[in-house]
Structure 1
């Protein structure tokens, strides 16, 4: 998906739905949900298409899948062992067994990030069960894999998570968050939450509020539960939480999120962020530009002529698709504003500002 002339592309990796979990109406228009067993596109076809997009000037790829990090390309693997060694996040389980293990998501990201060093890579929507250590270390070590992880929790109550068949407990989820932040200290986390799921009590709701406050997310998508027909929940449970309670709980979830999210934006003030220009700032279209940082924060800055860190040609205004170094001056606690310093490239910026590796491998 291209946004106007913005050089960002959404690349779908998998088709189908493999994780056995109740189906929620999350209203995510970029995902086409298809029932049936997941099928992964071959690595070579993805690399080939990304190469074509790079030649067209695309600067950022969003890798898409219903459970994108359960990617498994066994198309060119011969004489493989059955997938009994498929590693899940510690404390997580899956009702679906992997018959044949091929190239995993970390293998794909390793290939893409190495072959296209001046292209950014993001991915959505992952499942928390599929974050083995090698994926986390790869994200830490490769500057062009954005330090932004969507980690859907859905609930902070272990009993609700069991009814949802999520395959993990509250404690396992929090332990995974701790591990992710120990390996990638500057990571930005986002999540999905459902309030009012079948049988959710006030105590369950309180557990979700406390989890939101404990983790402190950069972004969250929160919804009141809406039952869908022909799902596990529809066949086995009763949608017994009154609509009024669902809406009140949703308001409380949003308030809890807002209590903590601002500090992540405030912490960026004074730092220099690499911003991929996406277009004019809608609030000041004639004078300001807007883009996203590595962590996914929206950053605005004054449109003015800048030099380039490695190219001749003098001063010129940044254009859509340019990488710009921006010193962050202000935080609105939902977006950032700064002073543009120079146009640059992804590799040049990170070669001059190496990523600190403060965590050792377990």
Structure 2
């Protein structure tokens, strides 16, 4: 749940430039969080070297891959429906092979291959480099599976083939796996222990993206704040590192600084943070560099100390408030967003009221809110009874969402009258006569197109707002352009 799930992107299939000479066709679609979409780019890069070009026409595909998510039940049910649909398409195209990638693959390997017999290939999130071998097995008529979780794999040596969505914003993975055993989350079991990627390979990717015309990067990880590179190895083994390794280690604040200095005209964001691991040197680095955006996604999940303990969140409500106060002191115009779960096992009305009062204290800019759904394989799924009735969960969720809408409007109104830098990304959904982009605080801004183009940094005077969007007019290029 510590991951932003963009509903507009769910089920999107990958569109890539065609590589000359490639004869085979790959259809790959993704569900879940940004990490999954980033992983699909890595898979496409590996398969491009094996003769595959992407297609958006499922019926023409030689290989169909679905990159899956185990975070929410809805995503899992959608993937199951898609697999049944692929099965029907296979009747018309019997040579087509179907594979499941990602978190569901690791968790449901036996079901998919042996019990339901609906796929040929099951590949866990650390095994993508093994795809060529696995495909050879499939082509010889055998089912193929590799869901082994690695302590080393970071895909630092794979240069992802980028989605041609806008050519302006890109994701760069900096960590894989997670060591925080939150009881509601399946990630440590499906993506393994936390390991960080070599900072040199990250900077090389950043420089390469700038050379290709990208203007904004989001550094991505299950928990970016715990990034720690000391020459390789797991974070939990850092205490065994040599004195030299410790002295030259790169933490997340240092990595942010390296990125900001490497490309001073490029914007940097990051996701996702964990309150228990966020340190003030990260906030101070954000404040020191103009090209690091003033936006933090800081999931809290609940405002109740008792429920936070049940969730195995290693911070208290009071500690969270102290962190929020420190962030706002160092970066006064920062935007903060949340993840919130309603109806976690044993949650009472008092616990729910604690969540609402926490929201009143922080007044988040926006949020990602869910009713609790039990995920098999999690600690909560194994040890806790899902005892809050569905209608109560939904009512509490509605109250959380209503309060968030009120706070979102309060926050957007604070931008009205200001001149803010916006990176143009695409045409507005509502009008082809307007551009849409985001300011430093990650709020969408729309304004008349005039002579500007995607990729331009433009100063926009904010004239009006809704609860989610700022409306303005351009007053000229920004100094970053």
Q: Which has the higher contact order (CA 8 A, sep 6+)?
A: 1
Between the aligned partners of 1:4 and 1:249, the Cα distance in structure 2 is 36
Match of 2:355 among 194, 203, 208: 208
Q: Tell me the CA shift for residue 303 of structure 1.
A: 1.0
Mapped pair 1:150 → 2:306: no
2:269 — aligned with what? 122
Q: Deviation digits for residues 299-328 of structure 1, max 9, x if unmatched?
A: 000011xxxxxxxxxxxx211111111011
When residues 137 and 332 of structure 1 are mapped into structure 2, their CA distance, relative to the original with a 3 A threshold, is same
When residues 68 and 228 of structure 1 are mapped into structure 2, their CA distance, relative to the original with a 3 A threshold, is same
Between the aligned partners of 1:251 and 1:17, the Cα distance in structure 2 is 30
When residues 24 and 54 of structure 1 are mapped into structure 2, their CA distance, relative to the original with a 3 A threshold, is same
Between the aligned partners of 1:238 and 1:266, the Cα distance in structure 2 is 42
2:260 — aligned with what? 113
Larger radius of gyration: 2
**What is the aligned length?**
313
1:68 — aligned with what? 224
Gaps of 5+ in 2: 1-161
Between the aligned partners of 2:239 and 2:465, the Cα distance in structure 1 is 47
Q: Deviation digits for residues 81-119 of structure 1, max 9, x if unmatched?
A: 95499xxxxxxxxxxxxx999310111111110121000
Between the aligned partners of 1:227 and 1:276, the Cα distance in structure 2 is 39
Q: TM-score, normalised by structure 1?
A: 0.82
Q: TM-score, normalised by structure 2?
A: 0.62
Between the aligned partners of 1:173 and 1:32, the Cα distance in structure 2 is 23
Contact 1:24–1:225, Cα closer than 8 Å, also in 2? no
Mapped pair 1:21 → 2:182: yes
Between the aligned partners of 1:335 and 1:84, the Cα distance in structure 2 is 49
When residues 84 and 174 of structure 1 are mapped into structure 2, their CA distance, relative to the original with a 3 A threshold, is farther
Mapped pair 1:288 → 2:449: no
Between the aligned partners of 1:56 and 1:9, the Cα distance in structure 2 is 11
Gaps of 5+ in 1: 26-30, 86-98, 305-316, 349-362
Q: Deviation digits for residues 8-47 of structure 1, max 9, x if unmatched?
A: 001111111211112348xxxxx99943111111000000
Mapped pair 1:178 → 2:325: yes
When residues 118 and 34 of structure 1 are mapped into structure 2, their CA distance, relative to the original with a 3 A threshold, is farther
Between the aligned partners of 1:229 and 1:252, the Cα distance in structure 2 is 27
Between the aligned partners of 2:408 and 2:166, the Cα distance in structure 1 is 31
Contact 1:113–1:145, Cα closer than 8 Å, also in 2? yes
Between the aligned partners of 1:150 and 1:165, the Cα distance in structure 2 is 19
Q: Tell me the CA shift for residue 262 of structure 1.
A: 1.1
Match of 1:10 among 171, 175, 180: 171
Equivalent residue runs for 1:212-223 within 5 Å: 212-223=359-370
Contact 2:225–2:279, Cα closer than 8 Å, also in 1? no
Between the aligned partners of 1:227 and 1:337, the Cα distance in structure 2 is 40
Q: Deviation digits for residues 270-303 of structure 1, max 9, x if unmatched?
A: 1111000011011001x11110000111000001
Which sits farther off after the overlay, 121-130 or 150-159? 121-130
1:28 — aligned with what? none
Equivalent residue runs for 1:1-362 within 5 Å: 2=163, 4-24=165-185, 34-75=190-231, 82-83=238-239, 102-285=249-432, 287-304=433-450, 317-346=451-480
Contact 1:299–1:337, Cα closer than 8 Å, also in 2? yes
Contact 1:301–1:338, Cα closer than 8 Å, also in 2? yes
Contact 2:340–2:368, Cα closer than 8 Å, also in 1? yes
